[in-house]
Every structure is written in structure tokens, then in C-alpha cells.
């Protein structure tokens, strides 16, 4: 095991590309079936999409313009960089097939774009769209990233997710079987989940054909239902201190299959939206601290994985 002690997203990208690639986040104007009434209303209790939309990423701008501005931002420092168009905000497979294809193809037509990352829900991957993405993946890089969030159905109901874990398992298996790269997103620290439950998530995910995984700590964000729940019943929440969360994340990684690339351990929401926890660390500072702790513990990804 190298000094990083876990398989990171750079390792994963190096298997698919020669040279540097950078994600550019896009807001393609999608909504979500958990907001428009087809599954539910109000969305997931923790969700405020403003927390992960860069300044150049706004609904009123075309995909091409967002890519132009994203490339301009990065190219000043890295003129030879290539890019992955990251359909990030809301549910990016939720729509009529031809309309979806037009958005994806517009992104791929942009100079310098060498692939797609598509963030979506596991209950929004119909067979005809998956067939199209399977064909597309034979021509270019395609990674579908599913919001799993928890393997506990009780938790998923509590956060108003609108699907169960079996739906995530089915979507991940179908996507991988179609030859499309597949990732998952998980939140550690959701209300009602014990440490033991969260470590069980790692073991459950290790049984699935996942290529990548994003983890992040529970954050309470302004203007969300969860923020209101916290205000009314703070005793229902455990907000991790940074060192406590680092040990949790390491315990999780040790139980996770070493074949799954961990793209990140934390998320950093805008200060004006974040209620708690406030750690005052940049993502790279957190990662350096986590790696130092992994070396202290002589820990590495997969050490306790029983796959």
C-alpha cells in the first residue's frame, strides 16, 4: 500500500486517461422526482442544491456557456487540461430520452471535453436511457453516480429519500452489467444511525460492482427541512468533530473493498449556508490530516474488508 493508503479518484482517472482531467460542474435545468410530486414533494430533508453549484453553474446559462466559463477558469493555470462534463445539480437522468441525449451530446461536442459524469438517483435509470449510455460508453468515458446516501431503509424513509436500498442495488448492478462505470454517494452521520450502522454500509457497498465512492459528513444547511428538525430536536443529531469524523472515515475505509476508488471523504458547503459542523478546514487540509492519522494507526483501505 502506498503512502496514500487508499485508492483515490486520481488513481481511477489514471486508468482511463493519459494526462490531467478536471471535472466541470453543470446545472442543466433538471428538477427531481422527489420535488415535483411524481415521487414526493419537498425533496430530501438535507438538500439545498446551492451548496454544490459553482459561480459559473447557473440554470439560466446554456451547457456550452457553462463549459466555456469552467474551461476559462481552469485553463489559465493548466492550459493542456482536458475536461469531464459533470451533470451535478438535481437528477440528471430525469427527463424525456431525446432531451437528455441533446444535453449530453452538447457537452461532448465542446472542445476539450473527453467524457461525462452524470449524477442521479437510483430510481431514475430507465432501460432505454441505460441502453443509450451503454452505447455512449463504448465511444467515450461515462460514469453514472448514484445518490445512495444510506443502506438503511429506515434512514432513507426518515430523510424523505423516496426509494429504498434495494433500488440502489438494482440500479448499480444494472449499470455495471451494461458496461457503464458506476459510482455512489454516501452521507455519514445521518440522524438515527449508529457508528455500527455506518460501518455496515461499507460492507454492504463492498458487495456491489462500484467503481467510485464519495463520502461526506452530515452538514446542516440553511433553508432545509433537516435544519428545522435540528432546531426542534437537536438531541436527535450527532454532529461529528473533525478528529472523531476522521477516525470514523478511516474505520469505514478499512471495511471498504480496495477496488473502489474513494473520490472524497468530506464536502465543503458555502459558509453562508452552513449551520454546522464548522471545522474551518479546506478539503485538502482535511485529507492531509486523515492520511496522517491513517499512518499513525497503520490503517489502509480494505484492511478489514471481508469480501
pLDDT in tens, 248-264: 999 999 999 999 999 99
Q: What CA–CA distance (Å, rounded) separates 182 from 120? A: 11
The answer to whether 151 touches 205, Cβ cutoff 8 Å, is yes
What is the pLDDT at residue 130?
Answer: 97
Looking at residue 55, its pLDDT comes to 52
Q: Are strands 220-221 and 274-276 parallel, antiparallel or unpaired?
A: antiparallel
Cell reading at 170: 438494482
Name the grid cell of 102: 441533446
Give the residue from 245, 161, 235, 176 showing the smallest Cα distance to 210: 176
Q: With contact defined as beta carbons under 8 Å apart, do 279 and 286 qualify?
A: yes
Instruction: Give the model's pLDDT for residue 79.
Output: 86
Q: What is the predicted pLDDT for the residue at 151?
A: 97
Cβ contact 79:39 at 8 Å: no
The pLDDT assigned to 149 comes to 95
User: Beta-carbon neighbour count of residue 228 at 10 Å?
Assistant: 12
Question: Which pLDDT does position 2 carry in this prediction?
Answer: 47
The distance of Cα 21 from the centroid of its chain, to the nearest Å, equals 18
Predicted TM-score (pTM) of the model is 0.92
Question: How far apart, in whole angstroms, are the C-alpha atoms of residue 8 and residue 258?
Answer: 10
Low-confidence ranges of the chain (pLDDT < 50): 1-2, 51-52, 56-57
Residue 85 Ramachandran class (φ > 0 left, ψ -120 to 50 alpha, else beta) = beta
**Residue pLDDT, tens place only, 89-131:** 878 888 899 999 999 999 999 999 999 999 999 999 999 999 9
Cα torsion angle, 141, 177, 11, 56, sign? positive
pLDDT of residue 51: 46
Return the pLDDT at 266: 95
Return the pLDDT at 39. Answer: 64
Amino acid at each position: 500500500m502506498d503512502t496514500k493508503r487508499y485508492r483515490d479518484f486520481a488513481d481511477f482517472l489514471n486508468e482511463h486517461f493519459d494526462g490531467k482531467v478536471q471535472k466541470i460542474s453543470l446545472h442543466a435545468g433538471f428538477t427531481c422526482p422527489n420535488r415535483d410530486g411524481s415521487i414526493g414533494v419537498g425533496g430530501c430533508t438535507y438538500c439545498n442544491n446551492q451548496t454544490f453549484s459553482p459561480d459559473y453553474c447557473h440554470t439560466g446559462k446554456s451547457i456550452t456557456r457553462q463549459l466555456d466559463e469552467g474551461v476559462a477558469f481552469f485553463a489559465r493555470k493548466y492550459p493542456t487540461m482536458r475536461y469531464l462534463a459533470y451533470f451535478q445539480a438535481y437528477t440528471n437522468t430525469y427527463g424525456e430520452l431525446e432531451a437528455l441525449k441533446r444535453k449530453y451530446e452538447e457537452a461532448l461536442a465542446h472542445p476539450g471535453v473527453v467524457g461525462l459524469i452524470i449524477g442521479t438517483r437510483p430510481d431514475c435509470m430507465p432501460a432505454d436511457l441505460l441502453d443509450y449510455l451503454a452505447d455512449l460508453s463504448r465511444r467515450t468515458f461515462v460514469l453514472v453516480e448514484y445518490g445512495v446516501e444510506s443502506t438503511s431503509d429506515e434512514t432513507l424513509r426518515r430523510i424523505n429519500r423516496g426509494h429504498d436500498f434495494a433500488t440502489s442495488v438494482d440500479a448499480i448492478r444494472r449499470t455495471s452489467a451494461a458496461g457503464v462505470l458506476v459510482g455512489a454517494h454516501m452521507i455519514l452521520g445521518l440522524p438515527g444511525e449508529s457508528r455500527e450502522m455506518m460501518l455496515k454500509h461499507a460492507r454492504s457497498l463492498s458487495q456491489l460492482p462500484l467503481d467510485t465512492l464519495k463520502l461526506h459528513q452530515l452538514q446542516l444547511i440553511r433553508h432545509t427541512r433537516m435544519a428545522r428538525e435540528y432546531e426542534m430536536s437537536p438531541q436527535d443529531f450527532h454532529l461529528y468533530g473533525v478528529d472523531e469524523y476522521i477516525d470514523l472515515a478511516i474505520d469505514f475505509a478499512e471495511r471498504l473493498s480496495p477496488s473502489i476508488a474513494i473520490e472524497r471523504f468530506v464536502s465543503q458547503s458555502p459558509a453562508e449556508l452552513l449551520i454546522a459542523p464548522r471545522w474551518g478546514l479546506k478539503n485538502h487540509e482535511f485529507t492531509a490530516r486523515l492520511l496522517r492519522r491513517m499512518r499513525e494507526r497503520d490503517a489502509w483501505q480494505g484492511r478489514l474488508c471481508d469480501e
